[in-house]
Structure 1
């Protein structure tokens, strides 16, 4: 039987819509709770290719809601995009997958995601969403916002030429300034956010008519809202206005505090793994080398160095505290 028989029988997609889905490439930015759910759904739905980017590795606390991962991934500290790729290929061996163990910034989006038909937000990061938003409207590629924290969920499509952008709608988005790391999240909230993201994705990929709405609610209290926002565009918006400048595509900083993680990210001056291990050996710093990163400690603080030079300093409360570790290493 045709693998996509049930999806093709659905009148909203049909054989024509399925044929379109099979030719589409989707970029997923962030392979955590949101990203693993939507990657799983879109792989099963039959998309041609997924491009995955995430800067982190798997920890035990991820397993409660990040559906593609298991205990061994956490023990091995497997990068999220690598584990996701391996598990997705077990689901569909003909799926094309491209992975990046990177911080998502403008240069990466422009280099790797320009051929996408759609972008999915799994980032849980306001700055990354601003960059995605500018990239989307600059290159006319739709993207779908998603968020969840505690028992609340939200999803919203941003489609160049059809809807106002993230900047224009930001004032009515539900407040998500708390994080899963500080107040928690339950998996049903993740499931609802990603179900609505996937619904919008299938409509866009199958080139079906779409009535864009901001969807948000609370699965615990059974509250739910769907709000139209098509008239909220601002003529002076730097992203979707009359004279767009796309300011967030000019950003090149990588030094940042990871939301709720007690972790600061830096770009180290050492970009080659051989140079790094020689450097650490001269400083008499023991290290653990894996195929994807090098792990070591400075002043009892765990430090992860990824190929290419990206550095995570863990167990620090501020950027300044992370900088002390960084400057102790590199001067």
Structure 2
């Protein structure tokens, strides 16, 4: 087995002892899309002993441009991403234990998994899940690595409980609207750049080389040739409800999660974000119009035709998804458009 990892063992940052540590560690990846599939493949090839992947979606043709574990056969079979990833990863390295979990990453699931993982990688598509991840990380003392990308832009930050600022320190509130891959597109090199940052940090954490872990917030724009690394040593907030002195882990509280309700007598789901804020309806309308959606609006709301479904978005972030009573499906549509 040493032959398999010989080039990795030759690297002084890992060596034989580091390789042994990797074999004994467990990585949890939330999301099996572009970032999740890339990180999972790198960690499997590196010989991480156990990898758990959580994802609620299935493989579609539009995924193949950047989601490296999947094939046209997976699209034809409409395989769940987590299941397709598990199959591919086991073919890459049969020595690694891979566990696929098909479904939403709920607070309950994350808390149950956190007791047995050494690092969590963020490969999700929405900030509600990220904030739950952040609270679970702090509550159970598990490092996690934030990552996001859209267009040619990407960012990453390693969050170490007790040492670095957490995501709640940085954001203070969940942003309600920004570009997503469905509204702003994405190029594969941006994905690969974020994966490189995340997987490198994961390897440092798993071999316990804490001095090498990056404490700065990295962002870049590959198309505009921009790269920024911002120090975060002063960003940690003693009053933060997620990591501060009187922490309450607010995003694990059921009352602070996105609310979904089927409207009585109507084929409609109402979605209300946990934290209200103003959505830029004009900017969103322009993005969706360029993507070919039929968009109508006024100063108070935006109506978006989506085949047999229609989404009405209000300035405060509330939305009505017409044409479905499926709460999970409606929530997925909401997060795909609003991020």
Q: TM-score scaled by structure 2?
A: 0.76
Give 3-state SS (helix, strand or coil) of 1:156's partner.
strand
Displacement after TM superposition at 1:112 (Å): 2.7
In structure 2, what is the equivalent of residue 144 of structure 1? 145
1:46 maps to which residue? 47
Q: Residues 204-233 of structure 1: CA distance to partner in whole angstroms, max 9, x if unpaired?
A: 011012231111101112211111102211
- Is 1:219 matched with 2:199? no
Query: Paired residue for 2:238?
Result: 235
Residue deviations 1:132-168 (CA, integer Å, cap 9, x gap): 0000000000000001100011111001011010011
In the TM superposition, 1:259-298 aligns within 5 A as: none
Shift of the 190–176 alpha-carbon distance from structure 1 to 2, 3 Å rule, reads: farther
Which residue number in structure 1 is paired with residue 311 of structure 2?
317
Q: TM-score, normalised by structure 1?
A: 0.78
Report matched runs for 1:134-283 at 5 Å.
134-170=135-171, 177-208=178-209, 209=211, 210-251=213-254
Whole-angstrom CA distance in 2 between matches of 1:16 and 1:102? 36
1:147–1:176 contact (8 Å) kept in structure 2:
no
Instruction: Name the CA shift for 1:193/1:165 in 2 (closer, same or farther; >3 Å).
Output: same
Cα deviation 1:1-46 (Å, max 9, x = unaligned): 6111111111111111111111110000010000000000000111
Partner of 2:106: 105
| Counterpart Cα distance in 2 of 1:265 and 1:83 | 32
**Does the aligned pair in 1 maintain the 2:201–2:214 contact within 8 Å?**
no
Distance 1:149 1:75, change over 3 A: same
Determine the C-alpha separation between the residues in 1 that align with 2:78 and 2:26.
28
In 2, Cα distance between equivalents of 1:39 and 1:140: 22
Q: Aligned partners of 1:256, 1:30: CA distance in 2, in Å?
A: 21
Structure 1 residues 254 and 164, CA gap change in structure 2 (3 angstroms):
closer
Output the CA distance in 2 between the equivalents of 1:326 and 1:250. Answer: 25
**Structure 1: how far apart are the matches of 2:321 and 2:168?**
32
Q: Give SS of 1:321's match.
A: strand
Structural RMSD (CA): 2.7
Q: Secondary structure at the match of 1:129?
A: helix
Paired residues, what number? 276
Instruction: Please give the secondary structure, in 1, of the residue aligned with 2:189.
Output: helix
2:150–2:184 CA contact under 8 A, matched in 1: yes
Structure 1's 245 and 200: CA in aligned 2 closer, same or farther, altered over 3 A? Answer: same
CA positional deviation for 1:177: 1.6
Q: Is the 8 A contact 2:309 2:321 kept in 1?
A: no
Listed one character per residue, the Cα deviations across residues 61-104 of structure 1 (whole Å, up to 9, x for unaligned) are 01100000011111111100000000000100121111211111
TM-aligned CA distance change 1:326 to 1:174, over 3 Å: closer
SS at match of 1:132: helix
CA distance in 2, matches of 1:128, 1:68: 23
More displaced stretch, 109-118 vs 239-248: 109-118
- Residues 256 and 33 (structure 1 numbering): CA distance in 2 closer, same or farther, change over 3 Å? farther
- Could you say if the C-alpha distance between residues 175 and 145 of structure 1 is closer, same or farther in structure 2, counting changes exceeding 3 Å? farther
CA contact (8 A) 1:149 1:176 kept: no
- Structure 1: segments with no counterpart, 5+ residues: 258-262, 267-300, 303-313
Q: Is 212-221 or 143-152 further displaced after alignment?
A: 212-221
Shift of 1:176: 8.3
